[in-house]
Structure 1
């Protein structure tokens, strides 16, 4: 887990920012304004961390549920649009999202799809392929060492590297750290991996370099697909910090002994 740079945790500093601004109900501010305020007052905090804490504080952003430390004290903001927030107004706004219910995962991706450029091979929200991708994401996030020894999920003051906000409504499937403390960006595809996914991964890797990584901290990328296409292998052949992985699913069926009923 990342160390705390200041006497107060970032979520408390976020509250200080809102008090300093003296926002009125309905007054909208942008992510950029928040990042600039932190850069001026708390320069050791990375812009990517600030963005993640805004997500955690947004009562209507379902991605806040990926951060296990989220609770009622984080119910501060209402997300108006991509990169735009206002103060949360109890009684007027919908109740804060504190738990995931059936169907919410699909709706979350549908909302995000409005802001994010979708790749041609993206699974449609709510489809069986999409749900399988979410299952794969959850499994790998909890079992990263099956990809490589020492790989662990990125965490920063309760912010976890699952569906990690990467600006413009885009989200990194899994953000991790390896044994040498290098960032590892994982992009997951349940079907074939095409060469178009390389651009998506490189965009995320460079975002992490700019917004999260320390100077000279390495950033790597891993694409995980059911089947790696020849085009994808060729596209990645000369990219040193990108690796390719295929996964296999297996199901074992056991017979259950027949229940013996009395005569």
Structure 2
């Protein structure tokens, strides 16, 4: 995998933001506030956002970030290319200190995610997806969070696995399992003898399917565009679909209402 200059900025920004998050995470001394929608906000969210902006502002593309004042749709609608950023996805997991939180950055072109990076600061796992190259990779950085000289590491390429005829692995959320999700799982019982539930927080749920560690991810709970854009790019780059339950089409981005409806991450043959 060869990264373009703008893509490399995003990767460096995600990793450096992850290091800023860990400084606060390891100190266990972080303040928690709540936004208007009652979602938590910590000093780590803000420190990560600041670091990401330092990198992405070197590119020529505008930025939409969860932790930056939202630009009006009248202005955004003229943006054909933009960055979509979640500086700390899984703030609840961060507060719980279970390590399952990520930094998400995606590049959106004509309402579609074409590039995505997800960094997991605690485990130092770095996921990168290039949709036009039909390639996603995962590498594990060293303890200093240094990027490798090359991303063409043997075994780095992600390869999803289709479910077999008797067993399916379903990704569930640690924080958002609900009745709609349970109903989806129950409906699978007519087609599969065994259903395994794989629980994960944050955008790692996308990564599990892309990596072949799970087969399907039903998300029947609210998300915002910045929660899903990077994961969708990584999944689509390996031939998976991220399909809106409402439209039957892939999720679109930079919409006037940036709240996603329910969606399903699946194999195209599903």
Same fold (TM over 0.5): no
* Higher RCO (CA 8 Å, separation ≥ 6 residues): 2
Larger proportion of helix: 1
Larger proportion of strand: 2
TM-score (norm. length: structure 1) = 0.31
